[in-house]
């Protein structure tokens, strides 16, 4: 987590950095800081969001055209002024910003204390600064070599940037496990954790890989390994634009992203869903398609919302393609010695493409010889680059911490993949494929029609905004959607919510139901309809407040539920793409009623790059 921005060139560095840090605040927002080179290293930092840092800089400008900045998601040391980045060495010669965790910081710190170093705060990053200082003093090497030697001594992960007052036209950056890229302009270079801070200046980027560093000057950059082997890195051209990363008139990114979904789902299918030809083309996995078609099973690993999409994928791939699927939490995958080998295929799903646990699963599976395929949103992200093949979701930048459009794009990809594999495995007939492809093609317009229900959902949101608990129930394809609805509510409204397979309710959670408990029931017209109706009756019998999401023609559910939000009819297997939308809106509106910080909920970060 944490966001890093750096700049060297001809502009006022603090302007570029503060603007960039605002764009990266989704990565963490406990504290923020900046270091500008101007003869000295001028550091300004403090607890709170980037806007506080901006005020500090306005009150006492830090002038200069070289600098680095940081927005923090605390790992080691509470979020306070002292622990805010940048950190310095004992002599205040240089400043460092760091994303990641130095796992052996405690032993390094003890050793440094025994050599006379004193520390102001509790962070692992400050230890790294003192380690570099100590190495430079003892080994009598230049600064760059000292950084290299220090990085060889640390265990853990880092994306870091350093400025040194003795090297006034230089920034050193390095990466291991935490993303970092360079934006290449004319006589200026930008550094950032992702492309959003730099896209308004340049679309030319160089991605650093693990164990690489770069020495950046106004004139350009040299990338090398930590062991000092010079590299010739490819320059990539980004396709995103500035409008995609601005709110576009919406009060929050989350609401903007909820509204974008009819477009993003359509973008995700463009050139892939061939309605006339009754087939699906997924160029990113073409090369490995035979392996997929003949696979004995597929293992899916992901975290959070992406894991929920993976669960929907399990239902889709097993039902449509008759391919056995196991879905794993990426965070558990490598710790249980997974039985996966060169006959297996791991499919990882990640919006950011940087989630540390998912990346660890990728590496574990590759080490064991498995084929690894990715479904990622961020183009050029680490997971996208480290997988053998993959499919981009093309949902555009997702800034709100609560994932919305990424989920529907992931489910769209999984639906297309299931149809493609079903046809190739000869288990999905032409007529059934046609029905699904047509239904999928119609989803964007149906999603747009659900947006018109916001006022109706608002009545429910207002009524239940202060409920202490929520229960979400679903069956089959909509069980993962129940989990997703509960997660959305938890993370942005801080209301305790649980998602359950509806049938499990009577094995425990039913004890919670009374007249104060809102129960969101996903009860669409499908093969589980009768059973869902029984569950609604069971909730009603205990005076629970039923909020049903159902299909337009489902009069049974509409008559039974206290509140009802309808979605248009679609193919049963595609209902998650529609049922999730009212749940996203519900959680958004409740968060707004509760005056919660929708886009930056407490304790969270968009991209979880620590394990």
State the residues that interact with ligand M6R by CB under 6 A: 303-306, 350-352, 355, 358, 401-403, 487, 491, 607-608
Is residue 2 part of the annotated active site? The answer reads yes
Residues in the chain, overall count? 611
Q: Which is nearer to ligand M6R, 74 or 189 (CB)?
A: 74
469 close to 497: Cβ distance less than 8 angstroms: yes
State the nearest-atom distance from the C-beta of 457 to ligand M6R, in Å. 19
φ, ψ of residue 388 in degrees (nearest 5): -75, -30
The token pair at 296 is: 């004995």
Of 2, 376, 564, 596, which one is the catalytic site residue? 2
State the nearest-atom distance from the C-beta of 502 to ligand M6R, in Å. 22
Q: Which is nearer to ligand M6R, 355 or 408 (CB)?
A: 355
Q: Which is nearer to ligand M6R, 493 or 607 (CB)?
A: 607
Burial of 79 (0-12, 13-18, 19+ CB in 10 A): middle
Of 109, 256, 488, 606, which one is the catalytic site residue? 606
221 close to 171: Cβ distance less than 8 angstroms: no
Q: What residue is closest to ligand M6R based on CB?
A: 304
Q: Which is nearer to ligand M6R, 178 or 554 (CB)?
A: 178
533 close to 518: Cβ distance less than 8 angstroms: no
Q: Which residue has the tokens 């010669």?
A: 93
Q: Which is nearer to ligand M6R, 482 or 608 (CB)?
A: 608
Helix, strand or coil, per DSSP, at residue 372: strand
Distance between CA atoms of residues 280 and 521, nearest Å: 33
State the nearest-atom distance from the C-beta of 402 to ligand M6R, in Å. 4
Is residue 44 part of the annotated active site? The answer reads no
Distance between CA atoms of residues 328 and 334, nearest Å: 10
In terms of DSSP bridges, do strands 518-522 and 496-501 run parallel, antiparallel, or are they unpaired?
unpaired
16 close to 4: Cβ distance less than 8 angstroms: no
Q: Which residue has the tokens 């229960």?
A: 471
**What stretches of 177-319 adopt beta strand conformation (E)?**
181-184, 189-192, 204-207, 212-216, 221-225, 230-231, 236-237, 273-274, 279-280, 298-302
State the nearest-atom distance from the C-beta of 304 to ligand M6R, in Å. 2
State the nearest-atom distance from the C-beta of 562 to ligand M6R, in Å. 28
Tell me: cis bond preceding 86? Omega within 30 of 0 counts.
yes
Distance between CA atoms of residues 49 and 238, nearest Å: 28
In terms of DSSP bridges, do strands 469-474 and 518-522 run parallel, antiparallel, or are they unpaired?
parallel
Whole-Å CA distances, 534 to 344, 522, 543, 576: 40, 13, 14, 21
State the nearest-atom distance from the C-beta of 350 to ligand M6R, in Å. 3
State the nearest-atom distance from the C-beta of 395 to ligand M6R, in Å. 11
Distance between CA atoms of residues 168 and 106, nearest Å: 31
φ, ψ of residue 496 in degrees (nearest 5): -70, 125
Q: What is the DSSP letter of 574?
A: G
State the nearest-atom distance from the C-beta of 310 to ligand M6R, in Å. 10
Q: HSE (CB half, 13 Å, CA atoms) of 144?
A: 17
Q: Which is nearer to ligand M6R, 387 or 607 (CB)?
A: 607
What residues does 166 pair with on adjacent strands?
A: none
State the nearest-atom distance from the C-beta of 73 to ligand M6R, in Å. 12
State the nearest-atom distance from the C-beta of 348 to ligand M6R, in Å. 8
Q: Which is nearer to ligand M6R, 69 or 304 (CB)?
A: 304
Cα 153–chain centre separation: 30
Helices 13-23, 50-59: axis angle to 10 degrees equals: 160
Tell me: cis bond preceding 327? Omega within 30 of 0 counts.
no
Q: Which is nearer to ligand M6R, 304 or 582 (CB)?
A: 304
Q: Which is nearer to ligand M6R, 64 or 179 (CB)?
A: 179
DSSP per position, 41-59: EEEEEEES-HHHHHHHHHH
Q: Which is nearer to ligand M6R, 352 or 412 (CB)?
A: 352
Distance between CA atoms of residues 581 and 137, nearest Å: 59
φ, ψ of residue 314 in degrees (nearest 5): -60, -45
For the annotated catalytic residues, the residue numbers are: 2, 606
């Amino acid at each position: 987590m944490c966001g890093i921005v750096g700049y060297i060139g001809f502009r006022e560095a603090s302007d570029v950095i503060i603007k960039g840090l605002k764009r990266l605040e989704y990565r963490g927002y406990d504290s923020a800081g900046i270091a500008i080179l101007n003869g000295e290293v001028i550091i300004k930092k403090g607890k709170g969001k980037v806007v506080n840092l901006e005020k500090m800089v306005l009150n006492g400008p830090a002038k200069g055209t070289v600098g680095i900045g940081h927005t923090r998601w605390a790992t080691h040391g509470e979020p306070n002024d002292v622990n805010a980045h940048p950190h310095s060495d004992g002599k205040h010669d240089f400043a460092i910003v760091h994303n990641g965790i130095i796992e052996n910081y405690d032993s390094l710190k003890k050793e440094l204390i025994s050599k006379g170093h004193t520390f102001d705060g509790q962070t692992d990053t400050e230890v790294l600064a003192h380690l570099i200082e100590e190495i430079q003093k003892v080994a009598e090497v230049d600064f760059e070599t000292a950084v290299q030697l220090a990085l060889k001594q640390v265990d853990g992960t880092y994306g870091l940037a350093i400025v040194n007052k003795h090297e006034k036209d230089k920034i050193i950056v390095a990466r291991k496990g935490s993303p970092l890229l360079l934006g290449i302009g004319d006589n200026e270079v930008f550094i950032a954790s992702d492309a959003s801070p730099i896209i308004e200046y340049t679309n030319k980027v160089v991605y650093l890989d693990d164990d690489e560093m770069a020495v950046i000057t106004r004139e350009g950059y040299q990338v090398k390994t930590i062991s000092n082997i010079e590299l010739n890195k490819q320059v990539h051209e980004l396709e995103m634009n500035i409008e995609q990363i601005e709110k576009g008139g919406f009060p929050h990114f989350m609401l903007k992203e909820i509204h974008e979904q009819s477009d993003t789902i359509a973008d995700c299918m463009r050139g892939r869903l061939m309605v006339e030809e009754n087939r699906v083309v997924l160029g990113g996995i073409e090369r490995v398609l035979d392996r997929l078609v003949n696979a004995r099973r597929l293992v899916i690993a992901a975290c959070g919302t992406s894991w929920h999409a993976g669960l929907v994928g399990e239902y889709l791939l097993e039902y449509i393609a008759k391919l056995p699927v196991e879905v794993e939490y990426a965070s558990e995958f490598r710790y249980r010695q997974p039985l996966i080998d060169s006959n297996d295929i791991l499919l990882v799903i990640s919006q950011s493409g940087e989630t540390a646990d998912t990346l660890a699963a990728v590496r574990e599976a590759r080490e064991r010889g498995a084929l690894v395929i990715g479904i990622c949103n961020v183009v050029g992200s680490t997971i996208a680059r480290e997988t053998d093949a993959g499919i981009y979701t093309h949902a555009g930048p997702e800034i709100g911490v609560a994932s919305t459009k990424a989920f529907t794009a992931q489910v769209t990809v999984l639906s297309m993949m299931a149809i493609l594999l079903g046809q190739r495995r000869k288990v999905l007939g032409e007529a059934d494929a046609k029905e699904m492809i047509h239904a999928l093609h119609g989803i964007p317009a149906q999603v747009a029609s659900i947006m018109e229900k916001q006022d109706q959902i608002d009545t429910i949101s207002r009524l239940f905004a202060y409920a202490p608990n929520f229960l979400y129930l679903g069956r089959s394809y909509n069980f993962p959607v129940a989990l997703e609805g509960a997660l959305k509510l938890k993370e942005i409204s801080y209301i305790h919510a649980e998602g359950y397979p509806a049938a499990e309710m009577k094995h425990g959670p039913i004890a919670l139901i009374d007249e104060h408990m809102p129960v969101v029931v996903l009860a669409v017209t499908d093969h589980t309809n009768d059973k869902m109706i029984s569950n609604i009756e069971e909730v009603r019998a205990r005076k629970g407040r039923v909020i049903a999401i159902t299909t337009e023609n489902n009069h049974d559910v509409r008559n039974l539920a206290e509140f009802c939000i309808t979605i248009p009819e679609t193919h049963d297997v595609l209902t998650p793409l529609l049922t999730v939308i009212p749940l996203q809106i519900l959680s958004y509106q409740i968060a707004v009623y509760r005056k919660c910080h929708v886009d930056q909920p407490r304790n969270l970060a968009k991209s979880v790059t620590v394990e």
